[in-house]
């Protein structure tokens, strides 16, 4: 399957890189080759956009901790280095979190970012297959829930299987029900030739008209956000009055649930993605939760031999960085 002829050159390049890597995975999976995601590396040259009015003076903002204590695929020192750079440019104090979370380790933290956590058994050798075990145990989940309930903010990011399954228990504590699968536009696949690019647009209402898309003014308004494959979730009925959809799948999206990551076929279960979410905001008592089913949109990575941009550095995702800042602003009360 070829990239649509009306796509921009950067999008066609991304599509071709995605297709090439997907074919390579299918040819080598039996010999235990690394996963598709493992071929993404950080764009260490990424420079955040100039911010005309940062939320805080340099180094004076709230403390944001990026989890590194749960076999995370995205960490502050690697694939989420551009994310940390962006938040620091806005004045936030960004630190890694290397210990279990309890009342002591969460003291003084305003935002906890959990991106693509895994249980050690699934992280070891990148064993991305069922069963997927929980990255957080019940005691740690209880500590995080209590911290959010009393005023903390959780930024929970879980990509496609196995990452979605690894945080399902943590997400459930906040009324978010994650599906441990891969979300794809039906026209693009999974498998060779497939592309997981999804563009959420204000114009078709797949991008919500909410605080994090409107920003503090016209210069922070976001009209489109691009995600790069990912997962899907739904919200529990209890949050009907305290949650807002940010990314809503439109018609012709499916969620595939393979037993092994990136292995698709006729026997793989799937369900219609119409109406499911890939992004949402929730108020949880005195705290806030931002849940997103895709991680690369908040980073800047390169992939493949041509070092194709993937994330905030992609030319066809020009508003992803502003969107990330708007989410941080909502979690820290800059946006009310």
Of 244-248, 252-256, 294-298, the least confident: 252-256
pLDDT of residue 194: 56
Q: Are 58 and 312 in contact (CB under 8 A)?
A: no
Tell me if residue 185 falls in helix, strand or coil.
strand
Does the residue 28 lie in any domain? Answer: yes
Does the residue 73 lie in any domain? Answer: yes
Does the residue 84 lie in any domain? Answer: yes
Above 50 in pLDDT, residue 8?
Answer: no
Q: What is the CATH number of the domain that holds 205?
A: 3.40.50.880
Q: How confident is the model at residue 189 (pLDDT cuts 50, 70, 90)?
A: low
Q: What share of the chain is helix, strand, coil (3-state, %, to 5)?
A: 25, 25, 45
Does the residue 65 lie in any domain? Answer: yes
Q: How confident is the model at residue 53 (pLDDT cuts 50, 70, 90)?
A: very high
Structural domain count of the chain: 1
Of 42-46, 54-58, 133-137, 183-187, the least confident: 183-187
Does the residue 2 lie in any domain? Answer: no
Does the residue 293 lie in any domain? Answer: yes
Q: What percent of the chain has pLDDT over 70?
A: 86
Instruction: Give the mean pLDDT of 88-99.
Output: 98
Mean pLDDT of the chain: 88
Residues 6+ apart with CB under 8 A from 137: none
277-284 vs 287-292, strand pairing mode: antiparallel
pLDDT of residue 7: 38
Does the residue 1 lie in any domain? Answer: no
pLDDT of residue 32: 32
Tell me if residue 226 falls in helix, strand or coil.
strand
Q: What is the pLDDT of residues 152-187, one digit of tens each?
A: 999 999 999 999 999 999 999 999 999 999 999 876
Domain hosting residue 169, numbered range: 9-331
Q: pTM (2 decimals)?
A: 0.89
pLDDT of residue 12: 43
Structure tokens at 145: 């829930």
Between the two ends of the chain, the Cα-to-Cα distance in Å is: 45
pLDDT of residue 187: 66
pLDDT top residue among 152 and 336: 152
Q: Are 225 and 319 in contact (CB under 8 A)?
A: yes
Whether the CA torsion 277, 1, 228, 262 is positive or negative: it is positive
Taking the C-alpha atoms of residue 218 and residue 201, their distance in angstroms, rounded to an integer, is: 17
Does the residue 4 lie in any domain? Answer: no
């Amino acid at each position: 399957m070829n990239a649509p002829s009306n796509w921009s050159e950067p999008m066609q390049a991304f599509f071709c890189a995605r297709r090439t890597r997907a074919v390579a995975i299918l040819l080598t999976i039996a010999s235990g080759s690394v996963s598709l995601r493992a071929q993404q590396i950080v764009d260490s040259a990424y420079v955040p956009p100039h911010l005309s009015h940062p939320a805080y003076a340099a180094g004076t903002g709230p403390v944001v901790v990026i989890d590194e204590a749960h076999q995370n695929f995205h960490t502050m020192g690697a694939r989420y280095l551009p994310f940390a750079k962006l938040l620091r440019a806005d004045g936030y104090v960004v630190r890694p979190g290397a210990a279990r979370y309890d009342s002591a380790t969460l003291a003084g933290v305003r935002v906890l970012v959990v991106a693509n956590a895994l249980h050690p058994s699934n992280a070891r050798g990148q064993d991305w297959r069922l069963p997927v075990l929980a990255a957080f145990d019940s005691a740690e989940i209880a500590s995080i829930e209590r911290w959010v309930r009393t005023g903390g903010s959780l930024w929970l990011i879980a990509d496609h299987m196995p990452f979605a399954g690894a945080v399902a228990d943590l997400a459930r504590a906040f009324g978010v029900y994650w599906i441990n699968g891969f979300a794809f536009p039906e026209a693009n696949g999974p498998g060779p030739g497939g592309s997981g690019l999804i563009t959420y647009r204000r114009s078709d209402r797949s991008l919500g008209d909410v605080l994090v898309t409107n920003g503090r003014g016209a210069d922070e308004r976001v009209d489109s956000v691009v995600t790069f494959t990912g997962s899907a979730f739904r919200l529990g009925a209890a949050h009907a009055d305290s949650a807002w959809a940010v990314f809503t799948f439109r018609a012709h999206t499916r969620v595939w649930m393979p037993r092994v990551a990136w292995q698709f076929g006729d026997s793989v279960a799937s369900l219609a993605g119409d109406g499911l979410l890939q992004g949402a905001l929730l108020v949880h008592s005195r705290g806030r939760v931002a849940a997103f089913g895709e991680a690369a949109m908040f980073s800047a990575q390169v992939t493949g031999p041509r070092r194709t941009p993937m994330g905030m550095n992609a030319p066809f995702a020009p508003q992803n960085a502003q969107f990330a800042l708007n989410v941080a602003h909502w979690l820290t009360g800059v946006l009310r």
